[in-house]
Amino acid sequence: MSSKPPIADATDALIKVTLPGHAAAGIPGVVHSMGPALAQLGPRRTLSLFTSINQKEGFDCMSCAWPDPDSRKTLEFCENGAKAVIWEATPVTVPTSFWAEHSVDDLATKSEYWLGLQGRLTEPVYKPAGAAHYRPVSWSEAFSIAGTALRELDTPDQAAFYTSGRASNEAAFAYQLFVRAFGTNNLPDCSNMCHESTGTALSEVIGIGKSTVSYDDFEQADLIIVMGQNPGTNHPRMLTALEDAKRAGASIVSVNPLPEAGLQHYKNPQTVRGLLGKGTALADQFLQIRLGGDMALLQALSKRVLDAEAAHPGTVLDHEFLTEHCVGLDELTSHLAELDEAAVLAATGLTSAEIDALAERYIRADRVIITWAMGITQHKRAVAGIKEIVNLLLLRGNIGKPGAGASPIRGHSNVQGDRTMGIWEQMPDSFLDALEREFGFDPPRAHGVDAVHGIRAMQRGDIKLWISLGGNFVGAISDTAAAEAAMRGTDLTVQISTKLNRSHAVTGAAALILPTLGRTEIDRQQGGVQFVTVEDSVCAVHASRGRVEPVAPDLLSEVAIVSRLARATLGADSPVDWAAFEHDYDVIREHIANVVPGCAGYNEKVRRPGGFVLPNGPRDSRTFPTTAGKAILTVNELEPIECPPGRLLLQTLRSHDQFNTTIYSRNDRYRGIKKGRDVVFVNPDDLLELGLEDGQQVDVFSEWPGQPDRELRGFRVVSYPTARGCAAAYFPEANVLVPLDSTAEGSNTPVSKAVVVRIEPARVPAPA
């Protein structure tokens, strides 16, 4: 089965590989990858944008959910934030003539890179069933088409409403309200593919699915363990926080199959030393773990902590904390007593001495933070693995005290806020009850579909209408061919977007594109200029104000689009005054204050400079609202990933020049890749064993029982210092290797980080 939609332009035969770049950061990087786009912006727009990013009176950077320090620098952003801003704020627009020139089939032959380069979408367009092209339509026609299609469904559950984590709290709250008033909980989101495993695990064991640290905790920590995360590329400002923590005496440990730039060497662009120097090694210890080995490592660490306590009773565990706030210590202790060290070493690829060294660091430290991202969440046993992170932290009381805690680092800049606002296919009854009280309608109670189940429902014909508030669903989900076929089988797809991507070319029989304002742009409504609010990785909620003129006069904000869609669908019986929502976002915030826990006084609190921090029981008062009423130490069985001889474990990850499915350039400076993305990174010793040579053209296969092999053809193998037995390729190209049903237990997140693959010399040589 081979289906590889074009992602980057097909000139990968020219890929250049150099020594991986060592030090992360440096503003020259922006100019490197965005030179032409930067020039198009012009000096005025550029200055106005760059002095507003992440400022208390400016807009929230859309590149990641890393929090802001209390005291902001004049330029409070990173290289990749700058790229995201330039990408969105470009003055280049898709001209009206474009739609007649390019059929939808033609767009489907274009790469993500090409689609992004066409510029901002400025007018609603519609492709009727049977037509080959989109054509411009008026806003009122667009809403009437969507509203009519929604009303004509047999049941509201025949529609699904996807959200990507860039939507503001106001847009998200209005959207979930519309969807529930319409009558379904079909609210899949990008989080289903991202930190869902985190939410599932943390909710069960500590009672809240969010980070238990605040920004200032980083500087007070003695030890910060960064697991399965590449902050140099994906959360660059985190490196500044790590550098500050290190200066204040913390040690930093990276657990990763790859020696990622930034953790190994780091240049702080905000300091002269950083711009000129060679960079500091941030990580004091680097454990080059085998993919999927973290759960074994964490169990081995907890076992060493328990053994140390047994050897010196009363000196290692935090007995007071464990007795007062936790359950499950005895079960964990007896379970770990049986832990097989040989199995740990096989699963982790580490030595006992390396694990001993980290255990000693952990025991010596009074305050420990563990952070993680996709390297932990996108595994089959991710939920269990995250519970092991919590086990280790709880043993020494590292939750709910300064400088310590469990800290998932979110991806999309408001993915956490969207969940807080009700974007979830399984919102708890307490939230639905509050909606009912506030708006006087009866929200549906049956859980809706998540991302993977959404594809299944489309395949069965149960979902006929798919609406996306942002994102690039078919580009982002696993099993590209299956996802695209499912999407093409629907009656209508509606994309609310800033720019073109693959999901605009893979449509239902009929399709609408509704162009929207970006976060950088001034949002004018009847009630005056509006701001929106967002929540970062550490639960801080604050305002975001657009600063530049909208790129086109007719763009609507996301809130306006959602409100008008609701009016067109629900008509006069709606329990909500949608026009008031659109005219003045304070009206939405008043409702948020009444419905969303922790948001009382929302309008006043978000107007404070820097906003406010949502309450968090574990962090604030060591209250754990779990089923046991305490934090739960859990027993999790190790299940090693089977990797037959001659196979490797492959992870799919991000290059330095992409934002998810948005490709800024085909370079990955920190990994030494230029002008190409069709590469697979393999350890030199594995290459030798497989009889492959660095630079050779190869085919990559994944094997699944009862299915034809999945394949990526004509990739270039790159000899790279990843852990033994492991490989890496870029997302989204490698999504084709992951079948839809390969998902994490308990969270249903696609397993994007440990795919068993076979790599063979390419059958068809690549064109010269």
| Smallest gap from residue 689 Cβ to ligand MGD (A) | 21
- Shorter beta-carbon distance to ligand MGD: residue 513 or 698: 513
Q: Of 160 and 434, which has the nearer Cβ to ligand MGD? A: 160
Name the nearest CA neighbour of 325 among 210, 207, 423, 486: 207
Nearer to ligand MGD, 294 or 582 (CB): 294
Among 89, 316, 374, 532, binds ligand MGD (CB under 6 A): 374
Name which position in 143, 182, 602, 731 contacts ligand MGD (CB under 6 A): 731
Q: Give Cα separations from 633 to 390, 393, 495, 762 (angstroms).
A: 8, 10, 43, 48
Give the residue with the Cβ less far from ligand MGD, 287 or 593. 287
Beta-ladder partners of 525: 528
- Residues 389/245, Cβ–Cβ less than 8 Å: no
- Where do we find the tokens 């395949």? 459
For residue 220, give every residue at least 6 positions away whose Cβ sits within 8 Å of its Cβ, in sequence order, or none. 248, 367, 402, 403
Is residue 407 within the footprint of ligand MGD (CB under 6 A)?
A: no
- Interaction partner, residue 234 (Mo ion, ligand MGD, none; CB < 5-8 Å by kind): ligand MGD
If one asks whether residue 546 binds ligand MGD (CB under 6 A), the answer comes out as no
Q: How far is it, in rounded angstroms, from Cα 425 to Cα 322?
A: 34
Assess 246 for contact with ligand MGD (CB under 6 A): no
Q: CA nearest 724: which of 651, 654, 648?
A: 648
Total residues found in the chain within this entry:
768
Which among 79, 448, 119, 86 has a CA at the least distance from the CA of 237? 79
Instruction: Please state the closest distance from residue 733 (CB atom) to ligand MGD, in A.
Output: 9
Which residues, numbered 747-766, are part of the site for ligand MGD (CB under 6 A)? 752-753
Distance CA 628, CA 523 (A): 46
Residue whose C-alpha is closest to residue 182's, from 166, 162, 158: 158
Asked if residues 379 and 385 have their Cβ atoms less than 8 Å apart, the reply is: yes
Is 294 a residue that touches ligand MGD (CB under 6 A)?
yes
In single-letter form, the type of residue at position 692 comes to: L
52 lies in the site for ligand MGD, by CB under 6 A? no
> Minimal CA–CA distance to 400: which of 251, 592, 575, 207?
207
| 744 touches Mo ion (CB under 5 A) | no
Residue among 137 and 534 whose Cβ is closer to ligand MGD: 534
Residue 501 within binding range of ligand MGD, rule CB under 6 A: yes
Task: Tell how strand 523-525 and strand 528-530 pair up.
Answer: antiparallel
Taking residue 646's Cβ as centre, other Cβ atoms within 10 Å add up to 10
CA-nearest of 451, 592, 611 to 540 is 611
Stretch that binds Mo ion, among 105-113, 405-413, 517-525, 733-741 (CB under 5 A): 405-413
Query: C-alpha distances in angstroms, 380 versus 195, 230, 752, 755?
Result: 13, 20, 9, 10
Segment interacting with Mo ion, rule: CB under 5 A, options 113-121, 409-417, 618-626, 684-692: 409-417
Which position has the token pair 């086109």? 552
Quote the CA–CA distance of 284 and 364 in Å, as a whole number. 15
Choose among ligand MGD, Mo ion, none what residue 257 binds, the Cβ cut-off being 5 to 8 Å by kind.
Answer: ligand MGD
Site string for Mo ion, 188-217 (x = CB under 5 A): ------x-----------------------
Instruction: Select from 269, 375, 400, 411 the one that contacts Mo ion (CB under 5 A).
Output: 411
- Identify residues 648-707 at the interface with ligand MGD (CB under 6 A): 651-654, 658-662
> For ligand MGD, which residue of 256, 391, 507, 626 counts as binding (CB under 6 A)?
256
- By the criterion CB under 6 A, which residues form the site for ligand MGD? 63-64, 80, 164, 166, 190, 193-194, 227-230, 233-234, 255-258, 260, 289, 291-292, 294, 373-375, 378, 411-412, 469-473, 476, 496-499, 501, 516, 518-519, 558, 651-654, 658-662, 731-732, 734-735, 752-753
- By the criterion CB under 5 A, which residues form the site for Mo ion? 194, 411
